[in-house]
Amino acid sequence: MVEPQEKNEVTAESVSAETQSESGRETSEPEEEQNADAVRVTDKRRFASDGELVIEVEENDAPETSKEEQEGIEQLQARVKEAEHKRAEAERQVQEYAERFRHAQIQLRTENEELRARWQRNFAQKLEAGRGDIVASLLDVLDNLKRAVAVAESSEGGGTEFESLLEGVRATAEMFETRMRNLGLTQVPSEGEEFNPEIHEAVEIVPVAAEDDHRVMEELQPGYKFGDRLLRPARVRVGRASE
């Protein structure tokens, strides 16, 4: 009876030892695997010059994309290209509109300057025409003053009072004519000039020598111009050579 008991004790001890050895193997195996893994780990991080982390993805590490994902990427790229094309077209149109606007500004400025110059010319012309009308309306007054002086000079009357009156009328006529000349009045050249129907009005034709043919022999009434405008033609006698 004693021997079987000893066998049982040996068996229990052997079992305990085997169990411990197995557990030791089990705990050592993960440690070895962890050590092996620790050896295989490689730091692939890259840093830029400013210290920023640069993430690099190797081709082997890139995840494989499915056909649907690839089509989605291609569609997205196509949309990006289309958006870039539209943006470029929009920028071109903006530049075109800006160029048109610049040309329109230049054209509007030019038209405004031309319109202002036209208004100034029209104003100057109207002002000149108004002044000419005023001067033309006073020609009869000047003629009457000159006639009064001419009649007084040809009269036989005399005396101190008459001479004083004549000098006063003569001075008035000269002053009036001077003021009108200052406004732009000019007398048409007549006597001794070749007859010009644009500024002369032939009242009478008188026989003359051949060298005086078609010349103004006498001025009956002076003609006047205001600038380039003829206010009144000169009334003259024109010479005509006999055949």
pLDDT in tens, 105-147: 999 999 999 999 999 999 888 888 888 888 888 888 888 888 8
Parallel, antiparallel, or unpaired for β 46-47 and 53-54? antiparallel
Contact 192, 215 (CB under 8 A): yes
**CA–CA distance, 138 with 78 (Å, rounded to integer):** 89
- Mean predicted lDDT score pLDDT of the chain: 78
Residue of 205, 201, 179, 206 lying closest to 190 (CA atoms): 201
Helix (H, G, I), strand (E, B) or coil at 94: helix
236 — pLDDT class (breaks 50, 70, 90): very high
User: Tokens at residue 239, please?
Assistant: 């010479």
φ, ψ of residue 213 to 5 degrees: the values are: -65, 135
**CA–CA distance, 89 with 84 (Å, rounded to integer):** 9
